[in-house]
Structure 1
Amino acid sequence: MLHTIEPGGLDARLLRSAAEGGSRFALAESARARIEASVRAVRELVSRHDAVYGINTGFGKLAQTRIADDQLAQLQKNLVLSHSAGVGKPLEAPVVRLMLLLKAASLAHGVSGVRGEVIDALLALLNADVLPVVPEKGSVGASGDLAPLAHLSGVLIGIGEVFVGGRRLPAVQGLTKAGLKPLELGPKEGLALLNGTQCSTALALHAAQRLQRVFDAAVAVGAMTVDAAKGSDTPFDDRIHAVRGQPGQREVAGTYRDWLHDSPLRQSHLHCEKVQDPYCLRCQPQVMGACLDQMRHAFNVLLTEANGVSDNPLVFADQMEALSGGNFHAEPVAFAADNMALAIAEIGALSERRTAMLMDPVLSGLPAFLIEHGGLNSGFMIAQVTSAALASENKSLAHPASVDSLPTSANQEDHVSMATYAARRLHQMLDNTAGIVAIEWLSAAQALEFHRPLQSSPAIEKLHATLREKVPFMHEDRLVAPDIEAATRLVESGVSLA
């Protein structure tokens, strides 16, 4: 499927298509006039011999150094080479695909002085799934994601490496695969390619995509645990949530009602003596609703960033001016990522508490550690310990990255956002939380079967069957790690009521 990229026109659907791969993207023809005008403006500014940052000057602390006209092309190439200083393992394919799309979309606004053929080349790499090898570490999230974007952009001039079908190849071979030849960058083009928040934004957007799936699974599994523990559905009554008015809370309560609707198991204990359930069951709408509100706010910030321009300087062709500013500072992305980290940690923390509750026969009314012949068998005892370890690790990772800053470039760039780390660490947290929810799913499914022949709701029984296609009931102790791995894959793939 071919998607046309209009400046400011990215949405969740396009971002998802880009991350998944397999779609094609093209620059809207309507954007080309403004792009060409910005290129002409750069040429005019160069001909005037006025000092314009990054066009005919050095970079960062070296901005006071003027560069001769016959060295401007070399200046842009040197910028890419010198800034390709990343370390660590390569970023994953969905993130690099998003980086290519976001950089092309930013340049398409026509205020960066970059030729249309450069933008087309970025999209050609994306369309051919020729993905630059981008080390994950090396950006502080201000002056843009310089090192990651240098590695991304270096491929356009034949420098660096790419992944093609899982194989790591020299950049020149990747260009051939995409039907391209190495480019010579014009004035301002290297700087425009490197300046921007596209790495941190791509990391955070991909985390948001993953988080939605983990969130949906956590709500579904949490509903299963309510029934497995013979909990009450009264706390999900809309009247409770309407009088508070928090939108996420009210919406999520409705989702819990949908999952639990028409459960014979619930009907079997409507008039029991238990008055109130533990918070991990009763307060799910309040906690998960707050997480949902944070997730949506963060995504809206990231979508705005994806549709904006974070280059510097910006070229306004109508006024024939290049204005230096600070749109490359990724503070909005850092804050959004930090808020997502809180949500990820809380989703996992609440899930772990539900698992722990199921282990305790006093609270759950079920066999200790959900296994027959306890003592001889340990059941889910250590699976819950693993869940606790993952939840505890997330607490450390949830510490806000945005409050940290270290001056760079000899104190010229003296306050930075740390947005790239803020976004990158989300994926480690998501790995942890997906594992926590997977362990709860295994536990809740096991617990349900101790209530047979009573059935849960049709929706929860379908969720139970989905897990049982991969993981059987635990009659006696067995190797648990493969079960957790299988359940984690199911969590990451997403669940729905449909």
Structure 2
Amino acid sequence: MVVLNGTGTIADVVTLADRREQVSISAEVLAGVEQAYHRAADLSARFPTYGRTTGVGANRTTQVLADDKDYGMRLLRSHAVDAGDPLADRTVRAMLAVRLIQLCAPGAGLDPKILSALARMLNDDALPELLQYASIGTGDLAALAGTALTLIGERPAKAPLPPMPPWGADSALPFMSSSALTVGRTCLALDELHRLERASSVIYMLSFLALDGNPSTFSVPAARAAAAPHVDTVAARLRWLSAGDGRDGRQPRRIQDPYGLRVYPVAHASVVASLDSLGRQLERTLNAAQENPLFDVDGDMVVHHGAFYQASLSLELDGATLALALTAPITHSRIRMLNDPETNGHNAFLAAGEDGSSGLMMVEYVAAGAIAEIRAAAQPASVGTLVLSRGAEEDATFASQGTQQLERSVAAYRVLLACELVGALRLLRQRGLHDRFGGVLGEALDLAAELPWNDQDRDLRGDLAAAEELLDHLGGLVTDSDG
């Protein structure tokens, strides 16, 4: 059971998105939210309050009458506009988990019964249907408005769900005032990327040993000389992985390796650093009350602000996709080395003996296609701008676009790593080195033993698919403490 006590984690979001646990809210949190609910009612009766006593967006100067009991429902219905393909259930659960964690930090001033209903929606998997295209501005308004209508019973849920009574203006805008879908999707992408970047180190070492690389590239002096964040972490991880590597004193084939082997610690460190920074920003966003307006109970005031403007998250998302784009060509360089007789010591493309055999030639092309997708997705979303709601929002942050681009990068990165893994395994097997390793590399090769051994020209789609399936397991062999 994930018990929310006022602070949530990315791991909590992933756990709930995967339905590995149920969720509950501590009594202390519910008491704090209820106190804020009553104080918000008092404050909004004394001060003009955006979204309660006024319209929203360009209608912010329009007064809403106190006896307009239908205003909250009109607000939800008008904002629940989306289009395109349905989002995956796992993505929807991640959004619900994020919004529930956020609402445990009092400040929104909404009805505490909504938190209990949201927890029930998650626990019963009674999900709303949300579509791909919605707002790109400063909040995931359409997704959350659609969720509210599902909680109320105006839209169907995917499982039976007791409907809530209609919401008033005290809860409609506060519930929508969040980037929970963007944050939830980013949590899932980051969780997957952590596994993939660790798998990358395992696969790099397999390629490194198959190609008789020079270990000085991840030595302590080399890492120190890089003078960049996390290079020492990556280099230490590679030294740890190389323990029991079965080289038996063999000398490296080259004094100085090509970039694909030599600069991996530096290039990959940029990925590790970007993911670390993105994770810290995500957890800050996950645990902050960012609703506009914010009810400051202790200060006895209604705070109208721009804290919801996701500039930092947008930049961190761009940083992660750019880091993947930077390191992708280095991966392709190793794939080329694995295929080149000058570096692999065997046939071109690691083909079988028959003249004219193509071997892994097209795997290199698949890898290039994945790199093209990573590069296209790395075009910074944060430099985009759009004016919305008759100028009320002069500049959207495009954070929601940034997380979709990161998802595209993750999918392509997975393919790229699978291509390298297929090549590294084939060269190790052709050299008779596949059973020479102990430690983690030995475990990795045991996991990979199920991949086909046939070197004849044939359809390799299944090989790549099987390699992709292995990546999460390979990443699981490396833990944070190992580096």
| Same topology, TM > 0.5 | yes
Return the offset for 1:92.
2.4
Q: Is 1:468 aligned to residue 449 of structure 2? A: yes
Structure 2 partner of 1:300 = 280
Of 177, 185, 194, 1:212 maps to 194
Structure 1 partner of 2:211 = 229
Q: Percent of pairs identical after alignment?
A: 23
Of 73, 76, 89, 1:77 maps to 73
Q: Is 1:68 aligned to residue 65 of structure 2? A: yes
Of 419, 423, 426, 2:406 maps to 426
Q: Is the 8 A contact 2:226 2:266 kept in 1?
A: no
Q: Is 1:488 aligned to residue 461 of structure 2? A: no
Which TM-score applies when normalising by structure 1?
0.91
Of 270, 285, 290, 1:310 maps to 290
1:358-377 residue pairs with structure 2 within 5 A? 358-373=338-353, 375-377=355-357
Would the alpha carbon gap of residues 43 and 263 (structure 1) be closer, same or farther in structure 2, given more than 3 Å must change?
closer
Q: Is 1:126 aligned to residue 141 of structure 2? A: no
Paired with 1:349 and 1:322, the residues of 2 have a C-alpha distance of: 51
Unaligned 5+ runs, structure 2: none
Structure 1 partner of 2:140 = 145
Paired with 2:386 and 2:36, the residues of 1 have a C-alpha distance of: 34
Q: Is 1:24 aligned to residue 19 of structure 2? A: no
CA RMSD of aligned residues (A): 1.9
Paired with 2:327 and 2:72, the residues of 1 have a C-alpha distance of: 45
Partner amino acid, structure 2, of 1:221: I
Q: Is the 8 A contact 1:295 1:343 kept in 2?
A: no
1:5-16 residue pairs with structure 2 within 5 A? 5-7=4-6, 9-16=7-14
Would the alpha carbon gap of residues 465 and 367 (structure 1) be closer, same or farther in structure 2, given more than 3 Å must change?
farther
Paired with 1:92 and 1:307, the residues of 2 have a C-alpha distance of: 24
Q: Is the 8 A contact 1:60 1:409 kept in 2?
A: yes
Return the offset for 1:247.
4.3
Return the offset for 1:375.
4.1
1:447 partner SS = helix
Paired with 2:137 and 2:346, the residues of 1 have a C-alpha distance of: 50
Partner amino acid, structure 1, of 2:5: E
1:178-193 residue pairs with structure 2 within 5 A? 180-193=162-175
Structure 1 partner of 2:240 = 258
Return the offset for 1:39.
1.6
Return the offset for 1:455.
4.4
1:8-407 residue pairs with structure 2 within 5 A? 9-48=7-46, 50-72=47-69, 74-142=70-138, 144-164=139-159, 174-175=160-161, 180-265=162-247, 267-270=249-252, 272=253, 274-373=254-353, 375-407=355-387
Q: Is the 8 A contact 1:56 1:66 kept in 2?
A: yes
Return the offset for 1:78.
1.4
1:88 partner SS = strand
Return the offset for 1:376.
4.2
Paired with 2:431 and 2:247, the residues of 1 have a C-alpha distance of: 8
Would the alpha carbon gap of residues 453 and 122 (structure 1) be closer, same or farther in structure 2, given more than 3 Å must change?
closer
Return the offset for 1:341.
0.8
Q: Is the 8 A contact 1:112 1:313 kept in 2?
A: yes
2:426 partner SS = helix
Q: Is the 8 A contact 1:401 1:422 kept in 2?
A: yes
Aligned residues: 477
Structure 1 partner of 2:3 = 4
Paired with 2:377 and 2:58, the residues of 1 have a C-alpha distance of: 33
Paired with 1:338 and 1:380, the residues of 2 have a C-alpha distance of: 33
Return the offset for 1:233.
1.5
CA deviation map 1:110-153 (0-9, x unaligned): 211112110111111111222222212222131x1112222222
Which TM-score applies when normalising by structure 2?
0.94
Unaligned 5+ runs, structure 1: 165-173
Would the alpha carbon gap of residues 381 and 185 (structure 1) be closer, same or farther in structure 2, given more than 3 Å must change?
same
Q: Is the 8 A contact 1:264 1:454 kept in 2?
A: no
